[in-house]
Amino acid sequence: MSGVQRVRTTNVADLEFWPVTRKSLTKPLRKTEKSPEEEVMALDEKNGLPSSAIVEPLTPQLHSVSIPSVLRRNLSLNASCSSDASSDSFHSCASTGRIYRTNSTAVRRRQLALKSKTSVLDGISEPLQDSLQVKKRCAWVTAHTDPHYATFHDEEWGLPEHDDKKLFELLVFSGALAELTWPAILSKRHIFREVFADFDPMIVAKFSDKKLTAPGSTASSLLSELKLRAIIENARQISKVIDEFGSFNKYIWSFVNYKPVISRFRYPRQIPVRTAKADVISKDLVKRGFRSVGPTVIYSFMQVAGITNDHLISCFRFQECVTAAEGKEADVTTNGVDDKRTAELIESDTCRAIDELSFTSE
């Protein structure tokens, strides 16, 4: 009997030593085992707060073994209600059973970083799919190339040109490369066209050198006086060529037998600065009185006007320019045949008229 009483006294001592801890720990265990629906029903019956809400927040000083399970249950219930209730929250590690504190602001930053990464990836996913389908261009046209020049490469450079005004414009631009770059020229293209009357050689041939090269004029801000005088003189010589050959197009394309020279280069280093054909054309132009038409300028003019196709064979424009040249050659041949037929008809009509006149005179 005395032994039993000793056990009771020790139990009583334990109960007196842990009165608050047993109440605060055992009650939440019973309450937290209930589902949220049961807690709502209990609230309706008691008209008060649930027992889990009365539990005082635990401090890091408690290291009881039963604490992590209680915290997990409390956090599982409270996390669904308000995940951002406080800036600091406790989390239990399932593998070690330890309690550690993490700042919710750091968690938010990580979540925002993940969202930004996913949004960026989602935004790039479509361009990446498009980039796989992007047409391959010449090696000197990169992602950092000026947009004006990239468009010029995709639409005009290397395409066979047969319009006299356009040929005169490209000849002027090729000469301007000695002072400006292609992006700079293309950005001022509208100003060039305004100053030189849309590059009509007949109109530019009548320009006054003094007015065009006067200080403060719009033309003087584009090129040097030497280049401006050369443009006017070349317009005058082009007008003479038109009178002689019928068009500047026929004259300039006659050097390549009206067919573009297809280079079929694989690498940019293979493209020359000048060729023998450019030397021949340059010499003939100089004899006719043209200025600033050296072999290098003429070869640049041949490239841009499509007289020679210097697109790399890997560029999508290479085959397009070849196809366009073949179509224009067919048009030229059909036009040539039609011209011959019309000439034959005119000759036959004139012969008949002469025969009739001779018969009536007899």
Cα angle: 188, vertex 192, 299; to 5 degrees: 90
The β-bridge partners of 28 are none
Residue labelled with tokens 């493209």: 271
- Under 8 Å CB-to-CB from 288, ≥6 apart: which residues? 237, 240, 241
109 vs 106: CA distance, rounded Å:
5
Radius of gyration of the CA atoms of the chain, in A? 45
Gap between the Cα atoms of 207 and 205, Å rounded = 6
Determine contact, residues 317/262, Cβ cutoff 8 Å.
no
Q: What angle do CA 15, 18, 20 make, to 5 degrees?
A: 115
Annotation: binding site: 138, 153, 311, 315
Residue 335 and residue 242: Cα distance in Å, rounded?
Answer: 19
Query: Contact, 231 vs 196, CB < 8 A?
Result: yes
3-state secondary structure 282-306: HHHHHHCCCCCCCHHHHHHHHHHCC
Residues contributing to the annotated binding site for Zn(2+): 138, 153, 311, 315
